[in-house]
Amino acid sequence: MEWITRLNETINYIEKHLAGKIDYDRLGKIASCSSYHYQRMFSYMAGVPLSIYIRRRRMTLAAIDLQKGEKIIDVALKYGYSSPTAFNRAFRGIHGIAPSLARNSGAFLKSFPPISFVISIKGAEAMDYRIENKEEFRIVGISMPMDTEIEKNFEIVPPMWAAAAADGTLEKLAGLMDAQPMGLIGACVCYGDDNWRYFIAAATTLPAETPFEEFQVPAATWAVFPGEGTSQSIQDLEKRIVTEWLPTSGYEYGNAPDIELYFDSSQENMKYEVWIPIIKK
């Protein structure tokens, strides 16, 4: 129940701040995790990215304000849009009509009410996992900045992997592996401040020669989930971890990178592990 209570408290926070700034870090603190992990939980459990949910709620309220006779420019500023053009685009994206038409008799508008989280019965299918306590380890590879709105990173991470495969980077990283965990590593370093980065790397004791860089993964306790299949199966596994395993596990997210460990490069039947950092509640 504590898990559900905290998530619903974040919805209350969002509702109170729709006409103002919504602090993603504050949402993470309410949910007792990083803003990155909160966004992941929200997306998996609500079925929609956090930024889209907030936009839908704001445009729902904006339509009501316009029907009350408020000026378009005032409504735009109220919900965080500095220009009528940006507000028009957002309003059309939700309602399918321009804000100027919202007052017309018979205009069709969409309403997205606030969500609430409830306990649902899941878990008929078994999940294999192990708990691993690991001292800090060093990874070497390439990295790119990540956006603090995590859905935007789907435009960053897959092309990064494709480029690394095409230019021989993955092959070079495979040659550096000489430490545990053995495999190609995709690491989301998305905790602490906003300097989020995504690494494609290998655990190694060898020097980080140009263009590679190094990162020390801190000591942590990890829940490790094995899997195999396509990239979609990884997303499905991560969703089950967040929605089925984590709420009843007695753990919550810790402050360390999220890791995907790949044991081969096959796109059709990859063997992999998902590592999530955990701490006891």
pLDDT at 102 over 90: yes
pLDDT at 115 over 90: yes
23-33 pLDDT per residue, tens: 999 999 999 89
β-bridge mates for residue 275, sequence order: 224, 259
- Mean pLDDT (the chain) is 92
pLDDT value, residue 129: 97
Residue 139 near residue 202, CB atoms below 8 Å: yes
pLDDT value, residue 241: 93
Q: How confident is the model at residue 89 (pLDDT cuts 50, 70, 90)?
A: very high
pLDDT at 192 over 70: no
Residue 68 near residue 78, CB atoms below 8 Å: no
Q: How confident is the model at residue 117 (pLDDT cuts 50, 70, 90)?
A: confident
pLDDT at 43 over 80: yes
pLDDT value, residue 230: 83
Instruction: Name which of 27-41, 80-94, 127-141, 181-195 the model is least confident about.
Output: 181-195
Residues ≥6 apart with Cβ < 8 Å to 197: 143, 144, 145, 146, 189, 190
Q: List helix spans (H) across the chain.
A: 2-16, 24-30, 35-46, 50-67, 72-78, 84-95, 157-166, 169-176, 231-240
pLDDT at 123 over 70: no
**pTM for this entry:** 0.86
207-263 pLDDT per residue, tens: 988 889 999 999 999 999 999 988 889 999 999 999 889 988 999 999 899 999 999
pLDDT value, residue 4: 84
pLDDT value, residue 124: 66
pLDDT value, residue 121: 62
